[in-house]
């Protein structure tokens, strides 16, 4: 196997990104989101053509999958990631896989203590977060849906009845295998995740836990569109674990530049150095999701729900209006309005439709820290308690 030098890798990566984004001025200096506004799901679409072109030149990528393409902050860092992947050794793949699974189980058990320690001290937080990144563990607001592109939230809410609570929305997920598994023209990666939507009193917010084990894959088309597919085995419960569900879950979302799905429009004009000197005053980006869950209630009896069998169809859509004319002069990474709508359709239940709406404004200081003001109303799984709350939260992610 040949190992390509960095200049060859740079050429391959830049050619692929220029082709997919239809932008000849993309350079290594181009930063994701600051200059090239594509979300995490869209960046996964670079993986297959880059891997294919590298293999065509006699080399190969090891220990890097589509999920790793979500994290680099610039094209230059993506080039570094791909270049280093050529030197990784795969000879002990079986042992590494076993170790990864054991490590994932340990991670799930130590989840809450790790978060508590990280919140105690800024220095401890930095140490823990850097080690988690090296272990292929990432922190987001949620594992599935548009919240995956957002940092975890830790904040304060005030409900309609004037009760105040502290709450958190977070998800830690762990990529089990270093190398994705080829499957039907795509590549599948395997993950473990723990997700919490938890408040201090559980009186005005429908608290929930969701633990998942599953695989993600991406399907490409010749038009540079991409379909994200995820299959999960999931365990869902309320805060006290009085109501519990076990189910299988299928999640789908496309990426399509022409319709602004996963890629902001209008596109910023890049200078020959790859940097966007001026952004459009306003940009729009949105993403639809469709998920199907089939399973069974294994414990508890939520009010108004008689069926033990779970059949849930969940369409979801979120949209962002990026206010560049405000964020750029003020020195923010981003400022935007957003709206999110979820419908849980339960055909076997007496009350078949449960809606949840959320809207708000985000002030992004950088890619890892933001301030969020939002209003949400509706019902959430698993107990579908009515919410009507205003929240102020600090977002932290990696």
How far is 152 from 169, CA to CA, in rounded Å? 6
Distances (CA, A) of 321 to 70, 151, 197, 283, 327: 21, 18, 25, 6, 12
User: Minimal CA–CA distance to 288: which of 322, 263, 255?
Assistant: 255
What pLDDT score does 115 carry?
A: 39
Contact indicator for 237, 297 with CB cutoff of 8 Å = no
How far is 14 from 302, CA to CA, in rounded Å? 53
Per the structure block, which two tokens stand in for 77? Answer: 């860092």
Q: How far is CA 248 from the centre of its chain?
A: 19
Q: Helices 75-85 and 6-21 sit at what angle, rounded to 10 degrees? A: 130
Per the structure block, which two tokens stand in for 105? Answer: 């189980």
How far is 84 from 17, CA to CA, in rounded Å? 19
Per the structure block, which two tokens stand in for 161? Answer: 């009845």
What pLDDT score does 336 carry?
A: 93
User: Measured at the alpha carbon of residue 331, what is the angle toward residues 329 and 336, in degrees to the nearest 5?
Assistant: 85
Over the Cα atoms of the chain, what is R_g?
21
Per the structure block, which two tokens stand in for 293? Answer: 């869950």
Contact indicator for 75, 17 with CB cutoff of 8 Å = yes
What pLDDT score does 101 carry?
A: 44
Contact indicator for 189, 138 with CB cutoff of 8 Å = no
What pLDDT score does 315 carry?
A: 94
Contact indicator for 374, 358 with CB cutoff of 8 Å = yes
The model's pTM is 0.80
Contact indicator for 167, 127 with CB cutoff of 8 Å = no
Secondary-structure percent of the chain, ordered helix, strand, coil, rounded to 5: 25, 40, 30
How far is 239 from 209, CA to CA, in rounded Å? 7
How far is 393 from 155, CA to CA, in rounded Å? 4
What pLDDT score does 159 carry?
A: 64
Q: Where are the domains of the chain?
A: 6-396
User: Minimal CA–CA distance to 71: which of 98, 114, 32?
Assistant: 32
The sign of the dihedral angle between the CA atoms of 36, 42, 44, 47 is negative
How far is 177 from 136, CA to CA, in rounded Å? 9
Per the structure block, which two tokens stand in for 285? Answer: 């980006």
What pLDDT score does 233 carry?
A: 93
Please identify, in words, the CATH class of the domain defined by 6-396. Answer: mainly beta
What pLDDT score does 66 carry?
A: 85
Residue appearing with tokens 């094209």: 75
How many residues belong to the chain?
A: 398
How far is 338 from 26, CA to CA, in rounded Å? 28
What pLDDT score does 122 carry?
A: 38
What is the chain's pLDDT, residue by residue, as a tens digit (398 residues)?
Answer: 678 889 999 999 999 999 988 889 999 999 888 888 998 888 988 888 898 899 898 888 887 888 888 888 899 999 998 998 886 544 434 334 444 444 444 444 444 443 343 334 334 444 555 566 666 777 777 777 766 767 787 877 766 655 667 778 888 888 777 677 777 767 778 888 888 888 776 554 567 889 998 888 888 766 567 888 899 999 988 878 888 889 999 999 999 888 999 999 999 888 888 888 888 999 999 999 999 999 988 887 766 666 778 889 999 999 999 999 998 888 888 899 999 999 998 887 767 788 889 999 999 887 778 888 888 888 888 777 788 888 888 877 76
Contact indicator for 44, 70 with CB cutoff of 8 Å = yes
Q: At residue 290, what are phi and psi to the nearest 5 degrees?
A: -140, 125
What pLDDT score does 269 carry?
A: 87
User: Minimal CA–CA distance to 316: which of 283, 336, 300, 339?
Assistant: 339
């Amino acid at each position: 196997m040949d190992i390509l030098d960095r200049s060859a890798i740079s050429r391959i990566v830049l050619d692929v990104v220029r082709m997919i984004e239809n932008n000849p001025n993309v350079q290594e200096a181009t930063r994701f989101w600051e200059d090239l506004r594509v979300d995490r799901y869209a960046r996964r679409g670079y993986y297959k053509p880059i891997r294919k072109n590298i293999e065509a030149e006699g080399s190969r990528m090891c220990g890097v999958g589509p999920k790793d393409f979500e994290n680099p902050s610039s094209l230059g860092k993506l080039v570094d990631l791909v270049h280093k992947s050529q030197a990784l050794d795969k000879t002990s793949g079986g042992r590494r896989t076993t170790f990864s699974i054991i490590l994932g189980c340990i991670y799930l058990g130590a989840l809450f203590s790790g978060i508590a320690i990280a919140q105690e001290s800024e220095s401890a937080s930095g140490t823990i977060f850097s080690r988690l990144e090296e272990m292929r563990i990432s922190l987001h607001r949620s594992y599935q849906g548009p919240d995956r592109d957002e940092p975890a939230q830790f904040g304060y809410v005030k409900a309609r009845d004037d009760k105040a609570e502290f709450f958190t929305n977070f998800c830690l997920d762990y990529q089990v295998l270093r190398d994705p598994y080829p499957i039907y023209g795509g590549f599948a990666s395997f993950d473990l995740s723990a997700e919490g939507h938890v408040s201090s009193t559980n009186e005005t917010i429908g608290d929930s836990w969701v633990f998942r084990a599953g695989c993600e894959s991406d399907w490409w088309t010749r038009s540079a569109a991409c379909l994200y597919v995820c299959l999960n085995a999931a365990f869902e419960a309320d805060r006290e674990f009085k109501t519990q569900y076990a189910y299988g879950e299928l999640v789908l979302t496309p990426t399509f530049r022409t319709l602004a799905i996963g890629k902001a429009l209008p596109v910023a004009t890049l200078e020959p150095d790859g940097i966007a000197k001026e952004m459009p005053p306003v940009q729009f980006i949105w993403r639809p999701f469709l998920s199907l869950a089939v399973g069974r209630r294994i414990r508890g009896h939520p009010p108004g729900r008689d069926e033990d069998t779970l059949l849930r169809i969940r369409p979801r859509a979120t949209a962002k209006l990026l206010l560049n004319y405000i964020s750029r002069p003020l020195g923010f990474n981003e400022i935007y309005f957003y709206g999110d709508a979820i419908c849980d359709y339960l055909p076997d239940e007496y009350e078949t439709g449960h809606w949840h709406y959320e809207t708000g404004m985000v002030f992004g200081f950088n890619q890892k820290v933001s301030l969020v003001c939002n209003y949400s109303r509706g019902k959430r799984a698993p107990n579908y308690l009515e919410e009507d709350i205003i929240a102020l939260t600090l977002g932290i992610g990696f």
